Amino acid sequence: MKVLISNEEIVEISKKIGAKLSEKFAGKFPVVVCVLKGAAPFHAELVKHISIDMEVDYIQVSSYIGKESTGVITFKKDLEVDITGRDVIIVEDIVDTGTTLNALTTELSKRNPNSLTFVSLLDKPSRRKMEAKADYVGKTIDDLFVIGFGLDLDQKYRNLKDVYIYDED
Ligand code: 5GP
């Protein structure tokens, strides 16, 4: 398997995005939400580089495309924090079809946060089924299946420290 993004590069990406978030939310107390399970390693790295006061929370969702082209989402684990009036930063592993990002926007907006900001380590714009744009993207990639650093195939490979292009050999 071939390394697509090394751990060193992920740390650099996290430093850059962490600095931007620290600037943007200076004087605020944002909630930095990890979308389980895939984003857990990236979320853990990113928060190390956020220099302002913040809190963490975790959410787990499963999403699918319903009969309409809008995404439908099921919460497997909901947030603990009441996000009403809060600045919420949502950390994802990858934006692929855009279903998860859209469904999270719809669901979390209903709770009247002050702001919603999406961060994704990876972005595969060529796979979109609906419009979806993260505010901060670590790296844009081609239509490749990737594993490692949180990203799985049948729950395996999340523990790899780099991101790899998955192939059969
Ligand atoms: P969506 O299609 O809703 O934008 O993305 C849903 C989820 O599919 C992502 O959060 C991620 O867990 C998974 N996914 C999308 N592309 C890949 C990929 O290339 N590799 C892995 N391991 N998971 C992916």
Residue nearest to atom 16 of ligand 1 (CA): 96
pLDDT of residue 169: 65
How far does the centroid of ligand 1 lie from the alpha carbon of residue 142, in Å?
Answer: 13
Length of the chain: 169
pLDDT in tens, the chain (169 residues): 899 999 999 999 999 999 999 999 999 999 999 999 999 999 999 999 999 999 999 999 986 554 444 556 788 999 999 999 999 999 999 999 999 999 999 999 999 999 999 999 999 999 999 999 999 999 999 999 999 999 999 999 999 999 999 987 6
51, two tokens: 């220099």
Q: Note the pTM of the prediction, 2 decimals.
A: 0.95
pLDDT at 67: 42
Q: Tell me, what's the pLDDT at 68?
A: 45
Pocket of ligand 1 from Cβ distances under 6 Å: 38, 63, 92-100, 145-147, 151-153
Q: Which atom, in ligand 1's list, is nearest to the CA of 38?
A: 12
Question: 161 C-alpha to center of ligand 1: Å?
Answer: 18
**Ligand 1 center to 23 CA (angstroms):** 29
How many angstroms is it from 140 CA to the middle of ligand 1?
Answer: 13
Nearest atom in ligand 1 to 132's CA:
4
Determine the atom of ligand 1 nearest the C-alpha atom of 95.
4
- pLDDT in the model for residue 65: 52
Domains of the chain: 2-165 (3.40.50.2020)
Q: Name the active-site residue from 82, 96, 123, 162.
A: 96
- Catalytic (active site) residue 152: no
HEC readout, the chain:
CEEEECHHHHHHHHHHHHHHHHHHCCCCCCEEEEEECCCHHHHHHHHHCCCCCCEEEEEEEEEEECCCCCEEEEEEECCCCCCCCCEEEEEEEEECCCHHHHHHHHHHHCCCCCEEEEEEEEECHHHCCCCCCCCEEEEECCCCCEEECCECECCECCCCCCEEECCCC
Output the six-digit token pair for 27.
């004087």
What pLDDT shows up at residue 74? 85
